[in-house]
Amino acid sequence: MNSEETEIYKVKTGTFEGPFHLLLSLIEERKFFINDLSLAQVTEDYLNYVSKIEKQNPSEISSFIVVAATLILIKSKSLLPNLNLSSEEESDIHNLEDRLKLYELYTRLAGKIKNIFGKKIIFAPLERKNEFLVFLPDEQITKESMMTFAHNAIDKIPKKEFLPKVEVKKVISIEEIISKLTERIENTLQMNFKDFAGAGKTKEEKVVVIISFLAMLELVRQGLLHAIQESNFEDIIIKKNSENSKISEPSPSES
Amino acid sequence: MNLEQKIEAILFFKGEPITRKKLSEFLEIGQVEINESIEKLKESLKNRGIVLQEKSARPDSHSDGENEITLGTSPELSDLIEKLQKEELDKELSKASLETLSIILYKNGVGRSLIDYIRGVNSSFTLRMLSVRGLIEKSIDLTDSRRYIYKPTFQLLSFLGVKSVEELPDYALINGSIESASQNLAEELKNEKENETSI
């Protein structure tokens, strides 16, 4: 990026109120009209901007991403004219154009509002002060009734709700199980899944079975194990894959 | 004293908005006659230091009995009166506020979902701020009691120096043209989508 482009980027990365604001600015900068041709051309800049703000404001990004999806669709169609779009996709594209035009309309109107706001004000009459204040207690106000009113008011104050707290139990790490399994398979040529994973009678044991299964699948994926099951519901026989003896680091994941 | 003068006196005395209907009830005169007198009053105030403002109860209502009217100082004398004001007036509006206000003004009452649809962002925060500033008010949608409609307040009209939304720049143009047709289409599409997702 040469220095002129960085200059333009500096000006552009002021905060944009939303995806339409950004999109409209990109289009108006180039003095385009709103149509699928111009939208296709600004798609790249739009995506660049979105990836920039993604790091800063991940929470506000969702509306930007929805629009990005449609822009990519438009760009794809412009690059591949023979691309067949579903009717839903076509309507998404028209929708975006229409909405952007609608947004542009209200942006223009907002400019007109800005021009007249606070310039020529119509003032309402000031509140008149009473000459003298008179305290006129109602018959209903007695010592007893005041206590009742006060009690009622206090009862109506919302009470703080205490949410029950639960301690999060320690999780079983899938990395641990993968290590265990690789260790065992290193030393034996084959073993039964049931021996490794356990019977799985209690709830905790069932979790171990599930994690062990996942660990086994991961190691099969890495090419370290063969898993064989003779027929449905039979035990699974795990064999070391002698063709590939390198064992890689398990990928970080917790279950 | 003619009817016009009576209405003028009541508006002055109350110093706050009153509905056309209440005037009719209090003076025990038919709404049509009241409305005629109100128009005459507006005419006679044309070159005076005060004006008659009107706020609609519903988005598309003219001379509706539920509309409120009130007297205020002429916008031409704004600078003069501002000097008499003790508090400093906040005349700043953010882009988000301006966008939101323009939608609410030109539609003269609109639900949050359409505002969000047009702006492409969530407007709850902006709507709350504008409410706090007294520039918009919330009322129950008569067609769908689960929803709220946001409307301009007298204060907003006053800050804009207009006697009614009809005086906004290009108001008639916006409401009577193709623009509004495309907006209606947008509303339909949006409602379709909402129905789809709720199924």
* Domain C-terminal end among A61, A82, A113: A113
Cβ of A17 and B157 within 8 Å?
no
* Domain C-terminal end among A113, A129, A152: A113
Sign of CA dihedral A35, A36, A38, A42: positive
Size of interface A-B (CB pairs under 8 A): 124
A7: left (phi over 0), alpha (psi -120 to 50) or beta: alpha
The residue range of the domain holding A220 is 174-240
Query: β-pairing, A236-240 with A225-229?
Result: antiparallel
- Give the distance from residue B94's alpha carbon to the nearest chain A alpha carbon, in angstroms: 10
> Which of chain A's residues have a Cβ under 8 Å away from the Cβ of B157?
122
A247 occurs within a structural domain? no
Highest mean pLDDT out of A6-10, A183-187, B85-89:
B85-89
A48 occurs within a structural domain? yes
What pLDDT is attached to residue A3? 47
Probe site for chain B from A50, A95, A106, A129 (most B CB atoms < 10 A): A106
For B197, the 3-state DSSP assignment is: helix
Q: Is the ipTM of this complex over 0.90?
A: no
What pLDDT is attached to residue A170? 67
The per-residue pLDDT for range A147-168, each reduced to its tens digit, is 998 999 998 888 888 888 877 7
CA dihedral A193, A198, A204, A209 (to 10 degrees): 10
Cα–Cα distance, A35 to A100 (Å, whole number) = 10
Nearest CB neighbour to A121, from listed B75, B99, B179? B75
Task: Supply the pTM of this predicted model.
Answer: 0.67
Cβ of A99 and B78 within 8 Å?
no
Over the Cα atoms of chain A, what is R_g?
34
Quote the number of domains for chain A. 2
> Which of chain B's residues have a Cβ under 8 Å away from the Cβ of A113?
98, 101-102, 105, 160, 168
Highest mean pLDDT out of A172-176, A199-203, B109-113:
B109-113
A106 occurs within a structural domain? yes
- Give the distance from residue A241's alpha carbon to the nearest chain B alpha carbon, in angstroms: 50
Are the folds of B3-74 and B104-198 the same?
A: yes
Task: Indicate if A106 and A197 belong to the same structural domain.
Answer: no
Cα–Cα distance, A252 to A211 (Å, whole number) = 14
Task: Return the amino acid letter for B66.
Answer: E
A188 occurs within a structural domain? yes
Q: CB neighbours (10 Å) of residue A125?
A: 15
What pLDDT is attached to residue B188? 67
Cβ of A120 and B161 within 8 Å?
yes
Q: What is the chain A residue with the closest CA to B164?
A: A122
A97 occurs within a structural domain? yes
A24 occurs within a structural domain? yes
* Domain C-terminal end among A82, A113, A144: A113
- Give the distance from residue A34's alpha carbon to the nearest chain B alpha carbon, in angstroms: 15
Task: Return the amino acid letter for B34.
Answer: I
> Which of chain A's residues have a Cβ under 8 Å away from the Cβ of B93?
114, 117
> Which of chain A's residues have a Cβ under 8 Å away from the Cβ of B159?
117-118, 121
Highest mean pLDDT out of A62-71, A171-180, B142-151:
A62-71
Q: What is the chain A residue with the closest CA to B15?
A: A125
What pLDDT is attached to residue A8? 40
- CATH number reported for the structural domain that contains residue A229 in this entry: 1.10.10.580
Task: Indicate if A12 and A103 belong to the same structural domain.
Answer: yes
* Residue A24 at interface with chain B, using a CB cutoff of 8 Å: no
Task: Indicate if A11 and A98 belong to the same structural domain.
Answer: yes
A50 occurs within a structural domain? yes
- Say if residue B97 is exposed, middle or buried (CB neighbours under 10 Å; 0-12, 13-18, 19+): buried
The answer, yes or no, to whether residue A10 has pLDDT greater than 50, is no
Of A251, A192, A252, residue with least CA distance to A225: A192
Q: Which fold has domain B104-198?
A: Arc Repressor Mutant, subunit A (1.10.10)
Nearest CB neighbour to A17, from listed B51, B121, B159? B121
> Which of chain B's residues have a Cβ under 8 Å away from the Cβ of A59?
none
> Which of chain B's residues have a Cβ under 8 Å away from the Cβ of A125?
15, 71-72
A214 occurs within a structural domain? yes
Asked whether the beta carbons of B108 and B127 are under 8 A apart, the reply is no
Highest mean pLDDT out of A224-228, A233-237, A249-253, B72-76:
B72-76
Q: How is chain B split into domains, by residue range?
A: 3-74, 104-198
Task: Indicate if A107 and A15 belong to the same structural domain.
Answer: yes
Class of domain B3-74: mainly alpha
